[in-house]
Amino acid sequence: MQLSSQLKALRPRLMEQVFVDKLNQAPAVELVGLRYSGKTTLASFYGASNHLALHNKQFNFAELLAAKAPRMIDEWLLQPALKEVLPSMLQQLPHNPTGQFILTSSALQENAVPCAVQVRLRPLSLFESGLSNGTVSLRSLCAGEPLAAVSGPQITATTLAEYCVRGGLPQMHNLEVKRASKLVKELLQNILDNDLYDFGSKNFNARKVRLLLRSIARNLGQSVSNSALKKDIKHSDGGDVEDVTIASYSEAFERVFLLDNQDPFKLIPECKLRIKKAVRRHFADPSFACALLNLTPERLVSSPQSLERMFDSLCVRDLKIYAAALGGEVRHYFDYQNSRIDAVIDLPDGNWCAVNFRLQPDDCLAAAHELQRINEKIKRNGGNPACACMVLCGLGHIVQPLLSNIYAVPLTQLKP
């Protein structure tokens, strides 16, 4: 199976090639991710016969088996019987079949389907949205290739704030910011009203859900504990949410991909440094945090701290998309000496790339020195140093070396 030229006429998806490769290798591919991220659109272009799983709908499994492959089943977890029937259906097909089923799901299940491989689809990155010119290749940087000094388009704080407020859901592409902001709030409410209940407990308290989400938005990108969130809710919104509720609700938010947290980086066992195990909390898209806090571009520009926080989350979103296209993951580094790296790109070959985020170009050199210091400390303590380092800049427009093999790279010039 080859890439769809028809899909390329819409918005390019970086995970499309990964998806097609898996479809050529496995009997079934499960395309998972946040609702409204474009899963159905991508799957529909490759499905030869498309089916929608609905509550209480009785599937005709014989008819499904007789349909032309690949058989696309949208939101298949809404039909729990499929999980039991699918393996036996595959056994009835010719030996070692590939590309038989495309499944989509807006929630993670507890136990994966043995015959299916998962591909996660996130919102659009700046590169996929056409807002990054892709001058700098993350793959090339991680391979140790030197970067040429290149000047790109200068963006303003207002433009960057608009990127955060509009977000990367495909429905928002090219929408005017005010209209996009309103639509983000509506889509978020749909997720809370439907997915939390469809794929989780039926006992969610709508007020407590909203209080917790607002607290996470206020602590975006922080390694904040459940008890700290509880205090923040009490202090900021005058609400009271129990620790056990915060834990269970947070797990549910992750299950429906509303949250996309950063796990801690793991150094090799031989390294003497100890890494803190707390995750850094992020939404799947910074537009959700802006919607929850009623942040407009004007309000973000007037609050540099808020803009910096949203920019950091925008960086994490894009790096997760780019890293996934390379087979990697994005983590964070925070040791017990309080040294931090904003993002660690954990590559499948065991190498890793260290990335700090800075809104202002004048702050990039200090961030590069910090990366250099931590890299040297890891090496002294028996760990493997980063194969590459960079500082992602929000308002910069020049790709330039800062220190030896450490570059400043505008986010609007990065691609996988």
Domain-embedded: residue 278? yes
Q: What is the tens place of the pLDDT at every residue in 35-85? A: 999 999 999 999 988 887 766 567 777 788 888 889 999 998 888 778 778
Q: What is the pLDDT of residue 147?
A: 93
Q: What is the pLDDT of residue 260?
A: 98
Residue 117 Cα distances to 86, 175, 349, angstroms? 13, 34, 20
Q: Are residues 254 and 354 in the same domain?
A: yes
pTM assigned to the model: 0.94
Q: Are residues 208 and 281 in the same domain?
A: yes
Q: In this structure, how many other beta carbons lie within 10 angstroms of the beta carbon of residue 16?
A: 19
Q: What is the pLDDT of residue 54?
A: 66
Q: Are residues 201 and 113 in the same domain?
A: no
Domain boundary among 60, 90, 120: 120
Q: 192: closest CA among 215, 179, 169, 210?
A: 210
CATH number of the domain encompassing residue 47 = 3.40.50.300
322: enclosing H helix or E strand = helix 304-325
Domain extent, residue 10, equals 5-120
Q: How would residue 201 be classed by pLDDT, with cut points 50, 70 and 90?
A: low
Domain-embedded: residue 130? no
Q: Are residues 115 and 169 in the same domain?
A: no
Q: Are residues 411 and 316 in the same domain?
A: yes
Q: Are residues 115 and 158 in the same domain?
A: no
Query: Can you state the angle between helices 206-218 and 243-255, rounded to 10 degrees?
Result: 80
Q: What is the pLDDT of residue 251?
A: 94
The token pair that represents 34 in the structure block: 């946040």
Domain boundary among 120, 151, 166: 120
Q: Judge whether residue 10 has pLDDT over 60.
A: no
Domain-embedded: residue 201? yes
Q: What is the tens place of the pLDDT at every residue in 145-165? A: 999 999 998 999 999 999 999
Q: Are residues 10 and 94 in the same domain?
A: yes
Q: Are residues 183 and 292 in the same domain?
A: yes
Q: 139: closest CA among 293, 279, 349, 296?
A: 349
User: What would the mean pLDDT of 210-238 be, rounded to a whole number?
Assistant: 97
